[in-house]
Amino acid sequence: MRHPLITSLTLAIGLMGIAAAPAAAGVDGADYVVWRLPAPGARGLGQLHVRASDTKLLAETVGLAANSTYRYVGSRAKCGTAHASTDVLWSKTFQSNGKGAALIDSALPNNAIRNLRSIRLFRGTSQADCATPLRYSSQAGGSPTDAFAKLSAYGFKALVFIDLGSPKDKLTAVGHGFIAAHGYRLVAADVACPTRPAGAVLFAKSGVTNSLGVLWRHDTGSNLTGKPPRSVQLFNPANDRVACANATRLPALS
């Protein structure tokens, strides 16, 4: 039997829908935050979404020590400043798998983004990394508009973030459970799933997963795309589409 990534799949499409109205948003009106850990070693991408009664936590992290315990900590202290126990807003403990990867899909008490100034990754008592959250409001207008998507199918999960608000556009993609050392093509499209991109490709990035079946990329370009994608689609080297997700487009707060 061929691996599910290179056969016809029943796709579990992750749609990160924007709420109709923010519930108990942060002090600046934010009801979403996104963060990324692009440094060597632990690498990750995550999102918090304030809902009516809790905050959804979605995070994918790779490059961890295998079968080890870590914690994500939300802090009111900025990265580069000292963090004390009194700064802790929330904490989520998780376990990496045998290949040093972990997906968290959980809920935190409401409101987990109020006064949030950093997300810190700890192993034991040692801080491994720190990320500054990007803040969004589903009720904000204007541009730029960034995009976030979750790709999921049998055997793998990946998160994708397209940041159009930086001085240079950034694409961050992270996932695990792929075929090791296997090629892929990640496409940002101006069409919604399940339509194939055809002539609606905004940009495409090709690469190869590592020996652990991990996908990681953090690209910077002067102009990846002039508009936010409507979908993110993943193809194998045979040009079979193995996953498609409609992107959540999030207006950034200044």
Same domain, 174 and 202: yes
SS3 211: coil
Q: Which of 103, 120, 136 is the last residue of a domain?
A: 136
Average pLDDT on 30-56 reads 92
Domain that holds residue 179: 4-15+142-251
Confidence of residue 130 (pLDDT cuts 50, 70, 90): very high
The answer to the question of residue 128 being in a domain is yes
Whichever domain contains 219, its CATH number is 2.60.40
Rounded Cα–Cα distance for residues 230 and 236 (Å): 20
Residue 38 buriedness (CB in 10 A; 0-12 / 13-18 / 19+): middle
In angstroms, rounded to a whole number, what is the distance separating the alpha carbons of residues 143 and 225?
Answer: 13
How many distinct structural domains can be found in the chain? 2
* pLDDT for the residue 118: 97
What mean pLDDT, rounded, does the chain reach?
87
pLDDT at 141 over 80: no
Residue 187 has pLDDT above 70, yes or no: yes
Question: Are both 186 and 212 inside the same structural domain?
Answer: yes
Share of the chain above pLDDT 70, in %: 87
